[in-house]
Amino acid sequence: MPLPKRLFTYFSLTELKLYFLLKDSPLLPFKVVSFTMEQRLYRFLLITIAFIYAFSSTNSQTYIGVNYGEVADNLPPPVQTARLLLNTTVSKVRLYGADPAFIQALAGTNISLVLGVANGEIPALAADPSAAAAWVSSKILPFIPASSISAISVGNEVLTMSDQSLSSQLLSAMQNLRSALSSSAAASGIKVSTVNSMAVLAQSDPPSAGAFHPELAATLQPLLKFLHDGSHPFMINPYPYFAYQSDPRPETLAFCLFQPGPGRHDPGTGITYTNMFDAQVDAVRAALRAAGFPDLEVVVAETGWPDRGDASEAGATIENAEAYNGNLVAHLRNSPRPVETYIFALYDEDLKPGPTSERSFGLFRTDLTPAYDAGLMKPLGGAAEWPSPVAAGLVSTPEAMEAAAPAVACKPGRGGAACG
């Protein structure tokens, strides 16, 4: 099966894959037994390009996740959502709770999950280690290892809430959950963290001057030590969309959307930033460094852009949403040091209160069609095979799922609304 006689630069990736899959196939009536020097050169180049493409594509996808919010009354069944995800390059999903049906739907898919502890659950988990043990026993143990659970996020934007009593209980809840996880060999590798808003920073511009609010030090320092000692990530919610809302100039929009422009120079490091996302993440890294924890991993728990909004909400358009999320995905794939990032959100949430934008962050409509092209769909024929219950190693029972059902209906979405 000799190569077509045309220039190498015009081969598509599909052709390359087919060539190497079929060239030695027993289904063919002949085999390639020898190559000319030109064909050998082509073969070497094609193998090299295919290897580089496969390695870089696979490696980059591990950093891209989505948030799955459930403040809606029209969401598709979890199994349908799982099938949708298998047709995308998304490798991680963050939940705001621990929905047993959704956790089980992703069994055997190799899509990892971050489960959420609602703000209203924190006091009980902080007060009683046995409550944390019960949470782990009901929400996690029935589903692993069939479902891949990588982390628990305890609360959402707790440190910047007005209720300081809740923030004072946060670390105890995290410690109790960590102890409960450690008591199970199957769950001992699951990380524990909490999600923070950018409001934890007193300064973020320039990024090298990033610093936490001094009044948070008493709560934040021991929390950072806990994260550091256990190799848990620091989770943050950077939203260039809100930065543009506070400075709605054309040059700011271009900077937020990863579009060409002069960039912004940081005199402290000499770096000229070409986009707001990197600037915000590096401001968090600088704050961690200033607090004495330069090696803490930063995970972007939420970022996104609404595709519609009220008349007063500048920039909330489908064109800007496609530009931001599509360019973000491309940026993560091409970055020399990509940060694990969860895009908000998989679907619109029609029951969320507030302005129109709050209900308009979905990458997909609830009929499973893309809201726009964010560059997340796999090429035709590239979807993963749906796992069978046997292949997935499912051990969960209806009784286990019932025991794991959420005790509260409150499911916080973006913005960290308190649940009680």
Name the residues annotated as catalytic: 157, 302
Rg (CA), the chain: 23
- Give the up-direction half-sphere exposure of residue 166: CA atoms within 13 A in the CB hemisphere: 21
CA 33 to chain CA mean position, Å: 47
- Cα-Cα-Cα-Cα dihedral sign, residues 186, 189, 194, 196: negative
Cα 54 from Cα 223, distance rounded (Å): 39
Cα angle for residues 286, 228, 132 (degrees, 5° grid): 125
Distances (CA, A) of 123 to 116, 133, 173, 290: 15, 14, 7, 30
- Residue 67, strand partner residues: 94
- Give the up-direction half-sphere exposure of residue 371: CA atoms within 13 A in the CB hemisphere: 25
- Give the up-direction half-sphere exposure of residue 413: CA atoms within 13 A in the CB hemisphere: 23
- Cα-Cα-Cα-Cα dihedral sign, residues 340, 343, 347, 351: positive
Closest to 148 in 3D by CA, of 174, 112, 114: 112
